[in-house]
Structure 1
């Protein structure tokens, strides 16, 4: 069952990577990609379906095997996404680009494995929901504002990080909705950060540095969920030197990606 869980999670990562690459290809080159316009593009919709399939397979994998096996397989989506996106743009990813992505993946695997497992039901009061939305909203706005004065690679990273923060807030609400006591507050609040995250991510994709965008999203999403879990749900944080080392690896890999991943231009798929 453990092997089956790992294979299922790996296939899920492939679907997630394919979906991200397709959506980035469609959003690329648009100054402010609107969701209504993107919804009329078949490849963008196909990317969304692929992402949903990847998420579903990840959930199935979690039911088949332990988190310590499934989560590292999920991180593999970064390594799948770069070659897929490069193929769509008619090029091959460079060794430096793939090496940088490998460093990010190694650091991210370390971070997700070092987070202590939480036990018991979760609960979030209405005030907690407002705090969650307020903190994630302010952080997302600050990152968006910073992106306006950044270089192209920096803009892609900041916009994708903004999206990751909002997706992390969405994941926290989803966890409380599934694992905790039912409350309409959770269900009503869920679409707000999710839709804003989707908008921010398409703007990050439109910049043209897919590797930087996708890596920043992969890092910001789980780290934000962990931070909100500790801040609002009383969950434990990892301690010691190893989390610092893992965080340094992800940061170094993302900087390397920003320097090695090329600026993409929209063209017909290869």
Structure 2
């Protein structure tokens, strides 16, 4: 069952990578990467279906195997996404680009394996939900404002990080709902950070530095979820030097990606 879970998680990562690459291809270089525009593009919609499929397979894998096996397979989506995105833009990823992605993946694997598992159900009071939405919203707004004055590489990283923060808030709220703290207005609040995250991510993709955007998203999302889990749900945090080293490794890989990932744009025929 563990081998089956690993295989399903790996296939899920491939679907997630394909979806991200397709959506970035449609958004890259777009002057107006708004959702209403992108929703009219079949390839972008196919990318969305692929991402949902990948997420579903990841959930199935978590039901079949241990977290320590499934989560590292999910991180592999970065290594899949770069070659797929490069192929869509009619180029080959460089060795340095892939090596940088491998550093990010290694750092993320180290982080997810060192996060202690939570015991028992989680609960969140209404004030906690408001805090969750408020903190993530303010953080995303500050990152968005910072992106307006940044270089293209910095803009892609900051926008994707803002998206990751909002997705991390979404994941935290979803975990509370799944664990039994069911409340109809919690359910109504759930789409707010999710939609804002999707909008931020498309803006990041529109810049054209896919490797930087995708790596920043993959780092910010789990770190935000872990932080909210500790602050609002009382979940344990990883301790010691190793988690810090893993985070630094992921950061170094992202900086390396920023230097090696080319600026890409989708050129529509006239």
Map Cα deviations across residues 210-248 of structure 1 (whole Å, 9 max, x no partner): 000000000000000000000100000000000010010
Aligned to 1:255: 255
Aligned residue runs from structure 1 range 83-98, under 5 A: 83-98=83-98
Aligned residue runs from structure 1 range 136-147, under 5 A: 136-147=136-147
Aligned to 1:191: 191
Aligned to 2:218: 218
| TM-score normalised per structure 2 | 0.98
Aligned to 1:23: 23
Map Cα deviations across residues 34-70 of structure 1 (whole Å, 9 max, x no partner): 1111111000000000000000000000011000000
Aligned to 2:33: 33
Aligned to 1:243: 243
Report whether the alignment pairs 1:115 with 2:115.
yes
Determine the C-alpha separation between the residues in 1 that align with 2:10 and 2:268.
28
Asked if the contact 2:24/2:210 (under 8 Å) is kept, the reply is yes
Map Cα deviations across residues 171-217 of structure 1 (whole Å, 9 max, x no partner): 00000000132112320110000000000000000000000000000
Aligned length: 269
Asked if the contact 2:124/2:233 (under 8 Å) is kept, the reply is yes
Determine the C-alpha separation between the residues in 1 that align with 2:132 and 2:80.
32
Aligned to 2:149: 149
Structure 1 outlier segments of 4+, above 2 Å: none
Aligned to 1:175: 175
* Structure 1 position 268, deviation (Å): 6.3
Which runs of 5 or more residues in structure 2 are unaligned?
A: none
Map Cα deviations across residues 54-92 of structure 1 (whole Å, 9 max, x no partner): 000000000110000000000000000000000000000
Aligned residue runs from structure 1 range 6-17, under 5 A: 6-17=6-17
Asked if the contact 2:25/2:265 (under 8 Å) is kept, the reply is no
Report whether the alignment pairs 1:205 with 2:205.
yes
Task: Give 3-state SS (helix, strand or coil) of 1:111's partner.
Answer: helix
Asked if the contact 2:16/2:53 (under 8 Å) is kept, the reply is yes
Asked if the contact 1:89/1:268 (under 8 Å) is kept, the reply is no
CA RMSD of aligned residues (A): 1.0
